[in-house]
Structure 1
């Protein structure tokens, strides 16, 4: 099955099942054990795994950053605090207004689908693949995909530009 067909099927399922509860203590403790300074998160859209509570808890100990999408399917991460204003980009996604660009130590990555080999299926724009490729050439970073267990598929079709994740976290724990 092609990526676009897999993506469409998973998005339909996620829309109907996104209410699944998850225990955040395990991922928060894991991240804090890494002794990091900056976490890169995202503001959930389209029934994604909601990481806002995780970011709020982590913000007591580390700096939080969020992506701003750029031209040519690029993005960078910028500092953000819980009450900072946001702007809506051309895709309808909230972004920080901050002008302070940072390189996160751990990057939380939204997923449409994933497989047991830590391959990720996103929305198809390649934003996260490009960013991960760029940042790993600059510094050591851990990437953690956030998804629901029902988003796991047997095999994600991968291309040469796709970036594998270090971990995937679901309501059932780490993969």
Structure 2
């Protein structure tokens, strides 16, 4: 989606650079930024953490990536159960995101409709278009592949790729805010994050605009929100 940040040097002991955490802790108020200065600190921390996590997942060997993706799909199928009659949105993978397109392509045989998110206008909620294997593809407003056929659908289930996530199932994305804007709308679809177990961090320091996932599915299983 929007551009990514430069890689950050992985810390020795923390999930993020300890200097950033030190700056955040004194002003923290129950997960909401107290002021603009705190939000700047959170943004700086997220930028470094995002770069670290993207670099780690991009470095995965293809065989290992495929193995973990297969495990995620098993856990996802167990979580979703019967999908007939549902519209399920996935994503077109970029910058090391896991590739669930083969799984999405198989939804039609199970009586479900696959969809992909599209940025129709910058800084606005996502649109969703039906997708099938071999569909003609164009580019959306931020350059991500999007079905050319303007067959708009309303998803029952939105699968969101996570760069990082925490115990409360808040999602660290690429920083554009598109999924948060979309999931703030009503009626809200089921929102399930998909990512690697290694992407879990103690907290993403959620802000007022962040929307938690119902669950996050990793190769190790299903993570549900904890208090």
TM-score by structure 2 length? Answer: 0.70
User: In the alignment, is residue 167 of structure 1 matched against residue 215 of structure 2?
Assistant: yes
Matched, 1:48 2:97: yes
1:108 and 2:108 matched: no
| CA positional deviation for 1:145 | 0.6
Equivalent position SS for 1:67: strand
Alpha-carbon shift at residue 25 of structure 1 (Å): 2.7
SS at match of 1:27: helix
More strand by share: 1
- Corresponding position of 1:71: 121
1:1-175 to 2 correspondence within 5 Å? 1=20, 2-17=45-60, 19-20=64-65, 21-22=67-68, 23=71, 24-33=73-82, 36-60=85-109, 61-74=111-124, 75-134=126-185, 137-138=186-187, 140-175=188-223
Is contact 1:28-1:54 (8 Å) kept?
A: no
Shift of 1:100: 1.8
* Structure 2: unaligned runs, 5 residues or longer: 1-19, 21-44
Structure 2 contact 160–193 (Cα < 8 Å) conserved: yes
SS at match of 1:84: coil
Count of paired positions: 172
Output the CA distance in 1 between the equivalents of 2:141 and 2:83. Answer: 35
Contact 1:66 1:78 survives alignment (8 Å): yes
User: Which runs of 5 or more residues in structure 1 are unaligned?
Assistant: none
1:123: Cα distance to partner? 0.6
| Distance in 1, Cα, partners of 2:174 & 2:151 | 26
Offset at residue 65 of structure 1 (A): 0.9
Aligned residue for 2:217, secondary structure, equals strand
For 1:25, what is the secondary structure of its paired residue? helix
Q: Give the TM-score normalised by structure 1.
A: 0.90
Q: Which has the higher contact order (CA 8 A, sep 6+)?
A: 1
Q: Measure how far apart 1:64 and its partner are.
A: 0.8
Distance 1:36 1:151 in 2: 32
Distance of 1:91 and 1:72 partners within structure 2: 8
Aligned to 2:9: none
What is the CA-CA distance between 1:59 and the residue it aligns to?
2.6
Contact 1:28–1:58 (8 Å) recurs in 2: no
Deviations 1:120-149 (A, max 9, x none): 000111000001112xx12x5211111011
Alpha-carbon offset, residue 107 of structure 1 = 0.5
